Structure 1
Amino acid sequence: MAEAAQNRTVLEITGTEREHFLQGLVSNDVSGLAGRLAYAALLTPQGKYLADFFLTARDDTILLDVESALADGLLRRLSMYKLRADVAIAPSTLHVQRGLGDAPDGALADPRHPDLGWRIYSPEAGTAPEIDWDAIRVAHCIPETGIELIPDETYILEAGFEALHGVDFKKGCYVGQEVTARMKHKTELRKGLTTVRINGEAPVGTELTTDGKTAGTLFTQSGGRAIAYLRFDRAKGALQAGDATLQWDG
């Protein structure tokens, strides 16, 4: 069954230079998109996250599937970058559906993790959501737009984009590529998203502390586990988030 993927907007990118245009902007390789989904991000020149999205090709059009809250800003920024390129960007009337198990014709596998199933782009909205996607995300430490992924703040390698197949280190230059490559090859990540055990609960965004020192931030929680952004050097013992206690097994 294909359920509605809520709060998603599809943009249509057309024109003879559409693939070349995106290839110079986004974090992943967008060549040969027909029949597959690519997961990618647009970054600031300083390497910070602005938006993440899925890309696929259909006939002479690239479809871009993004969180609705980011769609207008992303469209404006892409339009700013296109200059005189033969590229046009406009909202689509297509809806995003997703599901688990047997995929219908035209469905494409979610590239981030097999347990996230498939997505399909359809004139119909899909059925009411029933799947507990947060439980799947927490189990595999998969960040969500607007929760763990924060515009102008998040670095995609700290958010696990390499494991999520959202960045390509061989594709060449794109906006923010230099900072991302330096984080990959010249530094050891000292902070990032990870899964922790949690006893109790606290609001998303609650500060994590240990021995009175800030150790990170708590995000999505499900089934006694949570996604947290941690300073790894301060997360060796018991952590506190409001009335909840946490433990990192890293």
Structure 2
Amino acid sequence: MYKVWILILSLLSFNAFSAPKSEPWPFWDKHTQSTQSIDHSQWQALLDAYLVERGENTLFRYASVTDKDKQALKAYVSSLADIDPRQYSQAEQYAYWVNLYNALTVDLILDNYPVKTITKLGGLFSFGPWGKEIIEVAGKPLSLNDIEHRILRPIWQDPRTHYAVNCASLGCPNLQTQAFTAENTEQLLEQSAHAFINSDKGAKLSNGKIQLSSIYDWFAVDFDGEKGVLKHLARYRPELTSFKGKVSFDYDWKLNKAN
């Protein structure tokens, strides 16, 4: 009976995860023509110190982060929380939200380290921490889901956002070695899209079949459906232009940690 109960709980936990819809939050759909920039140098310093490249992955050295740098990360997150991003340009806002999402994710892992996967951080009946409100910006409590699915996806409507936000998992598009800025966003989005689609975790081609990241299944609507997914992939990997074979999906939720 105990084993049956554990199985039921695990199934409930897994089924609790479903791809959230893109639902705009009008409060955040405002911007100015300001040329003022937001400082992300603290985040860049942490990336420089703890993010390493290993094959097709970038991995974070969570176990090596010092107490001083953990506090530096929290200070950076707090500094972003004190900003009303609506007072900035759209380009500055996009970098703000991506960096905030990624910094919050790393902070969550560090607060709970060691952990094998981020999916274990959501509690007994939750698959991951994404629905929990963990920060307040401009007087609004926000979850990671709010940032990704109610701000980034609906306002910018750019499928490459899926290559920008990182969920601390091996199956996820890599956490970029550079902090996003208004000036480098386009370069980083193109760079990360190309790298992911040409990696096995993005699109593994073998014997006339292709195994795609589950991202292309969960969020197919952002790529204009199944045909749009293949068209998008072919843009960065021309060999897939005429692909007609069998498609499957997979995702590796193991933590993106460097040993």
TM-score normalized by the length of structure 1: 0.34
Q: Which has the higher contact order (CA 8 A, sep 6+)?
A: 2
